[in-house]
Amino acid sequence: MNASRTRASATASASSPSPHTGAKRIAVIGAGIAGLACARTLMQAGHDVHVYERLTQAGGRMRSVSGPYGSFDIGAQFFTVRDPRFQQVLDTTPGNLRAWSLNSVQTRNAQGRRVDKHTPVRETHWVGMPDMQSLPLAWAAPLWDAGRLHLGQSLRAMSHHIASGSSHSRHQWSLMLDTEDHGPQIAADFDAVVLAVPAPVAAQLLQTAPQGAALARTLAPVEMAPCWAMTLSYPMAAQAGLTTLGPQWNAARSTHERVAWLARQTSKPGRAQTERWTIHANPLWSNEHRHDDATRVLAKLQKAFGEITGIRVAPRHASVYLWQHAQTLAPLGRPFSHDPSAGLGLCGDWCIGMRVEDAFVSGLEMALAIA
């Protein structure tokens, strides 16, 4: 994603309110769903909010990538809605959403046979249009237009001091940033900092400032695992009389020792019709092989894919991507963690689970606690 795509994705670019008396200057680290939900809520409350994102794209694990035969959702594959507050926000960007025909997800074994004993719960599985990343891009647009979204800027360390004002003292946080275009920079004078990043990353950042020690201790119960994602393209499936390769099902969880999830991207609404698949590796397998060479991982996952789907023909294009902190094995157990005495907060899907809605709820609740 670049800035131009962010602007083009905006369907509801609400103007940012001017900071009010008593408004805080707040830094949000991370432009995934949690960070964007937190930042937008704080901005709408009149605070001076700035979001810093390590990548040159907003979206976090709702990231999509382009290939020679079409795009792939390499992170979150869909989302469901159970919290009315999430539904209310989604209603502001209806053009970015479509229901996937997949209303329930089956589980299949290493040979591709269904192993569910009961019919899975049926609920609407929503996807972004034209890809999953379009939703966070739409949410990021007002921040970008207001000059409050800073892409390609990675937080390296934080420092803190107490500033004495005419009537009271207040927190002052400074951020040491590594930027893609201008090298090291410092952003200063923040009343509060919210880390909307994976728990292991937050723990490392909190260690850069003594004031973060108390909040860092709250992360002890959290466990996260990596995930290898693989993308495969089969343009030869477009030959006359052949619409798809392999199985008639379009997505499934898997009990294979290497694979946890498979999805035919072509089955999602609004996607290019070239046969394409996204595969997520098992979290334990991903952790065991997180330092492996990408070529070796690709070969192992392709073999597993063939065993599950029966598709053994070589793809025209294949790639793998490692999510370092993708899956929550043990959540924090509450929507956010906050130390108001230090002006620090933590949020993310890992606080309460691993669903897209979990990330939104965490960011929203974090913002409401500050605002």
The residues spanned by each domain of the chain are: 3-61+136-220+330-370, 63-132+223-329
The answer to whether the 3-61+136-220+330-370 and 63-132+223-329 domains have the same CATH topology is no
Torsion sign across C-alpha atoms 191, 196, 197, 201: positive
In 3D space, the residue among 359, 350, 331 whose CA is nearest the CA of residue 35 turns out to be 359
Long-range contacts of 188-192 (CB under 8 A, 24+ apart): 189/25, 190/25, 190/26, 190/27, 190/50, 190/343, 191/24, 191/25, 191/26, 191/343, 192/24, 192/26, 192/27, 192/343, 192/344, 192/345, 192/370
pLDDT-based confidence at residue 295 (cuts at 50, 70, 90): very high
Measured distance CA(148)–CA(140) in Å, rounded: 10
Measured distance CA(280)–CA(231) in Å, rounded: 9
Measured distance CA(323)–CA(326) in Å, rounded: 6
Query: CA angle at residue 331 from 325 to 336, to 5 degrees?
Result: 100
What pLDDT, in 10s, does the model give residues 152-209?
Answer: 999 999 999 887 665 566 779 999 999 988 899 999 999 999 999 999 999 999 999 9
Q: Which amino acid is at 56?
A: T
What pLDDT, in 10s, does the model give residues 223-243?
Answer: 999 999 999 999 987 655 555
pLDDT-based confidence at residue 315 (cuts at 50, 70, 90): very high
* DSSP state letter for 323: E
Class level of CATH domain 63-132+223-329: alpha beta
Residue with tokens 């119960």: 221
Residue 288 has pLDDT above 80, yes or no: yes
Q: Tell me the pLDDT of the chain averaged across its residues.
A: 90
Asked whether 62 and 36 are in contact (CB, 8 A), the reply is: no
Secondary structure string (H, E, C) spanning 187-202: EEEECEEEECCCHHHH
Phi, psi at 217, each rounded to 5°: -65, -25
In 3D space, the residue among 5, 282, 304 whose CA is nearest the CA of residue 151 turns out to be 5
Least confident of 7-21, 73-87, 230-244, 280-294: 7-21
Alpha-carbon torsion angle 299, 302, 308, 310, nearest 10: -120
Mean pLDDT for the stretch of residues 353-361: 97
Look up the CATH number of domain 3-61+136-220+330-370. Answer: 3.50.50.60
- pLDDT value at position 3? 38
